[in-house]
Every structure is written in structure tokens, then in C-alpha cells.
């Protein structure tokens, strides 16, 4: 049997030779509540400390040459939390958007929101859209923030769009390839996901980037998110650099 040449470029998501620095890192920032509880503090204090970790990790990612950092800040399931906690998270989002936007812009960070963020309070939607518009031309690093995001919703949304196109006759059912689906996900313009990290010892994806994680390396660490800073992030990149990725080949 003739072997099919396994050029790196033909491997799914490889985008050429495997990079030693991941192009796209996603993080499930878990453990804020436990961090606060251990200190006898309200959960909101854990989220505030978690937001500080975001700042540190973003800096480390930029320094390392990561092209895109995607953070799971609010899932479509997080609405089940008590109203006070939801309102604390919204308050934090307002605070950080106001406080950090101009610094992020100066650092060349492009802000992108993934998920159905339009259901958020009107002032937040406006702040998010202004932040995306202001930073749209930046290319040092993309910070993709997942807000009211759910991976299965994202895939169902793509399926609905494709079904509509087929019904309208502008798309053939046979033309529904993985690439066609990929192009309709929120992440269509982001590099392939190379590394997915979850903090706090939980080992599940919780409806985050299920499609995009097909060939991503996974790293589950015990550290609670507020304790995960620049050094821990660099450790994760070192771990990634040691992984051998085969994309289904040998």
C-alpha cells in the first residue's frame, strides 16, 4: 500500500510544523470560589483575585508570543448562579473594561467576544462593542473572552445557518464539510486551538470549545485560578513544548 505523504500542512489544524509556542491557548479559569472560601472571604473576592490573574497571564502570553488567548469568563450555564454573584461578575466586567481598555489598546491587544453577549445589560453590550471596535486593528495578541458562551449552542447555531443556506438553495448538503462548520463558529478567525488549560483540579471541558479542542493539547492543573499567574502560565507553555503532536498520524 502506498503511504499518503503526511505533510505537516495537511494535518488537521496543524497549520504547518507544530509550533513550540502555542498559537492559541484557551483557559477554563476555575476555582475562584474555593480560593475565597479557603480564606473566609466572599466569592466575589475570589472573582476579583481571578481578574488579577487574567492581567498577569495576559502579560505572560504576550511576552511568550502567543497569538490568541481565549478565556471562559461566563458560560451559558452560569446564569444558574445566585443573582448576587451574577451581578458581582457583571460589576467586575464593567470595572475592568473601563480600567484596562486603553492599556490593552496601547499594548496592541485585539479584544474579541465569543458567545451570545447581546443578552447582557445594555451598558455592558455597548462597552464590549466599543472595545471590539477600538481594538479591531490590533495584531499583537487577540484576547477572546467567552461570555454567555456554550459550545453546543455555538455548533447548533452553525448547523442552523447551514440548514438555512441549504433550504435557500445557496449551499449543497454535500458541501457541509468540517471547514464549512469551522467557518461559522465564533472562533472562525482565530488560529487553531493548540492548548487548553483548566485550573482547580477539575478534569472536564464544561461545554467549552468542544469542536475546537479536537486536536488541542489538554492541561489540567490543581492550582486555583487566582493562584495561577505568569509563572504557572510559563510552566504550561513549557509542558506544551514537550508534547509530541501527531494529529492521528504516527
Binding interface with ligand FPP (CB under 6 A): 29-34, 47, 50-51, 54, 73-74, 78, 89, 92-93, 96, 225
Nearer to ligand FPP by C-beta: 225 or 240? 225
78 annotated active-site: yes
Question: Alpha-carbon distance 238 to 55, whole Å?
Answer: 20
Q: Is 226 helix (H, G, I), strand (E, B) or coil?
A: helix
30 annotated active-site: yes
The one catalytic residue among 13, 78, 138, 239: 78
C-alpha dist (Å) from residue 116 to 52, 110, 150, 212, 236 = 25, 19, 9, 18, 29
Tell me the CA end-to-end span of the chain in Å, nearest whole number.
16
| CB 34, min distance to ligand FPP, A | 3
Nearer to ligand FPP by C-beta: 78 or 165? 78
Nearer to ligand FPP by C-beta: 53 or 67? 53
Q: Which residue is nearest to ligand FPP (CB)?
A: 33
| CB 200, min distance to ligand FPP, A | 6
> Which residues is 109 bridged to in the sheet?
141
Nearer to ligand FPP by C-beta: 20 or 87? 87
| CB 170, min distance to ligand FPP, A | 38
Question: Alpha-carbon distance 146 to 178, whole Å?
Answer: 22
The answer to the question of whether 184 is labelled as a binding residue is: no
Question: Alpha-carbon distance 218 to 209, whole Å?
Answer: 12
The answer to the question of whether 245 is labelled as a binding residue is: no
Helices (H), the chain: 32-38, 43-64, 83-106, 122-135, 151-168, 178-182, 230-242
Question: Alpha-carbon distance 41 to 33, whole Å?
Answer: 9
Q: Name the binding residues for Mg(2+).
A: 30, 217
Q: Name the binding residues for substrate.
A: 31-35, 43, 47, 75-77, 79, 81, 198, 204-206
Q: Mind telling me the catalytic residues?
A: 30, 78
Amino acid at each position: 500500500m502506498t503511504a499518503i505523504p503526511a505533510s505537516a500542512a495537511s494535518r488537521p489544524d496543524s497549520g504547518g510544523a507544530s509550533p513550540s509556542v502555542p498559537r492559541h491557548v484557551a483557559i477554563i479559569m476555575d476555582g475562584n470560589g474555593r480560593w475565597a472560601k479557603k480564606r473566609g472571604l466572599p466569592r466575589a473576592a475570589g472573582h476579583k483575585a481571578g481578574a488579577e490573574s487574567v492581567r498577569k497571564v495576559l502579560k505572560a502570553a504576550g511576552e511568550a508570543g502567543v497569538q490568541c488567548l481565549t478565556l471562559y469568563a461566563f458560560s451559558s450555564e452560569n446564569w444558574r448562579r445566585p443573582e448576587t454573584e451574577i451581578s458581582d461578575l457583571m460589576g467586575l466586567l464593567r470595572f475592568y473594561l473601563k480600567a484596562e481598555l486603553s492599556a490593552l489598546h496601547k499594548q496592541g491587544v485585539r479584544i474579541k467576544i465569543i458567545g451570545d453577549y447581546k443578552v447582557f445589560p445594555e451598558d455592558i453590550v455597548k462597552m464590549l462593542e466599543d472595545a471590539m471596535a477600538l481594538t479591531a486593528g490590533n495584531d499583537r495578541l487577540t484576547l477572546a473572552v467567552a461570555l454567555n458562551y456554550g459550545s453546543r449552542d455555538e455548533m447548533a447555531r452553525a448547523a442552523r445557518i447551514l440548514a438555512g443556506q441549504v433550504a435557500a438553495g445557496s449551499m449543497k448538503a454535500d458541501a457541509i464539510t468540517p471547514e464549512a462548520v469551522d467557518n461559522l463558529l465564533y472562533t472562525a478567525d482565530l488560529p487553531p486551538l493548540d492548548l487548553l488549560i483548566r485550573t482547580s483540579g477539575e478534569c472536564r471541558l464544561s461545554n467549552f470549545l468542544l469542536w475546537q479542542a479536537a486536536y488541542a493539547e489538554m492541561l489540567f492543573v490543581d492550582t486555583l485560578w487566582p493562584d495561577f499567574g505568569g509563572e504557572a502560565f510559563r510552566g504550561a507553555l513549557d509542558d506544551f513544548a514537550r508534547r509530541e503532536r501527531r494529529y492521528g498520524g504516527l
